[in-house]
């Protein structure tokens, strides 16, 4: 049977890597992001025999009407949706709370929390109605969904919202065979630059340990491969020596 997945933020980073992993596992993958050229570049990174199952679907996931059009296209194209990976996120520089603008607050919250809600709502509508019914939603949280970093109030609040969305979707999806889990991802080794120093709770700057992206991809692939009725509710993948508990 056709296995269909959508990955938001698929033009780079975690979204790109996980989309390629799902393609390698035989999924048909809708690549979602604002910039179509980046999505097409992602598709070209797939093995030649997988590329025909990668479809660029440019959309702004913070726009309710754009999200509705996107999922209507998915339903018309494939007739079903089995997996949604909510990964897209805008970030901002670390700033003291008093220096965070309302515009930056709304931009970060919209890209992470509102985008996750809008895409999940649309996915629920398809997954409840399709035959066989049900599906899976995986949300990209962050260690900040549990423990904040200094000077990160907007990002921390948005990722805490994602944790609440994950739990609500998991509860509301039970009767419809819709599972929802969350992956919190620690420091991943940058592909194109040195790892930057990060502010610590004591005020110092430190270059923290990182891990290879493949560990994140392997976990998302494992979550996606579970049968309906089995769920990984929450998982944290991080370098063992990365500051996390107490952030120190």
CA angle (91 as vertex; 27, 180 as ends), nearest 5: 40
Tell me which residue of 3, 66, 62, 65 sits closest to 30, measured CA to CA.
3
Residue range 71-94, pLDDT digits in tens: 999 999 999 999 999 999 998 889
Predicted structure pTM score: 0.95
Residue 2, number of CB atoms within 10 A of its CB: 11
**What is the per-residue pLDDT across 32-48, written as a single tens digit (0 to 9) for each?**
999 999 999 999 999 99
Full residue range of the structural domain in which residue 150 is found: 4-247
The rounded mean pLDDT for the chain is: 95
Q: What is the pLDDT of residues 120-154, one digit of tens each?
A: 999 999 999 999 999 999 999 999 999 899 999 99
What is the C-alpha to C-alpha distance for residues 52 and 35, in angstroms, rounded to an integer? 19
The CATH number linked to 140 is: 3.40.50.720
CA dist., res. 199 & res. 99, Å (int)? 16
211-228 per-position pLDDT tens digit: 999 999 999 999 999 998
pLDDT at res. 25: 98
Tell me how many domains the chain contains. 1
DSSP string for 5-72 = EEEETTTSHHHHHHHHHHHHTT-EEEEEES-HHHHHHHHHHS-GGGGGGEEEEE--TT-HHHHHHHHH
Q: Tokens at residue 184, please?
A: 């919190």
């Amino acid at each position: 049977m056709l296995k269909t997945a959508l990955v938001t933020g698929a033009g780079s980073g975690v979204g790109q890597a996980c989309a390629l992993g799902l393609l390698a596992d035989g999924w048909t993958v809708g690549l979602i992001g604002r910039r179509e050229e980046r999505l097409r570049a992602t598709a070209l990174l797939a093995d030649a025999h997988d590329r025909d199952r990668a479809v660029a679907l440019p959309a702004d996931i913070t726009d309710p009407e754009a999200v509705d059009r996107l999922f209507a296209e998915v339903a018309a194209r494939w007739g079903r949706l089995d997996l949604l990976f909510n990964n897209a996120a805008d970030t901002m520089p670390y700033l003291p709370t008093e220096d965070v603008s309302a515009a930056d607050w709304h931009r970060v919250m919209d890209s992470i929390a509102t985008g996750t809600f809008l895409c999940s709502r649309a996915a629920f509508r398809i997954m409840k109605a399709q035959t066989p019914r049900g599906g899976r939603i995986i949300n990209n949280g962050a260690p900040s969904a549990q423990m904040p970093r200094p000077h990160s109030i907007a990002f921390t609040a948005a990722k805490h919202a994602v944790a609440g969305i994950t739990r609500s979707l998991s509860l509301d999806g039970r009767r419809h065979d819709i599972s929802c889990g969350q992956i919190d991802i620690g420091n991943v080794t940058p592909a194109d630059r040195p790892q930057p120093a990060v502010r610590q709770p004591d005020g110092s700057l430190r270059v923290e340990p990182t891990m290879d992206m493949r560990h994140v991809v392997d976990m998302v692939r494992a979550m996606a491969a579970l049968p309906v009725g089995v769920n990984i509710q929450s998982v944290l993948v991080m370098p063992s020596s990365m500051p996390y508990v107490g952030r120190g």
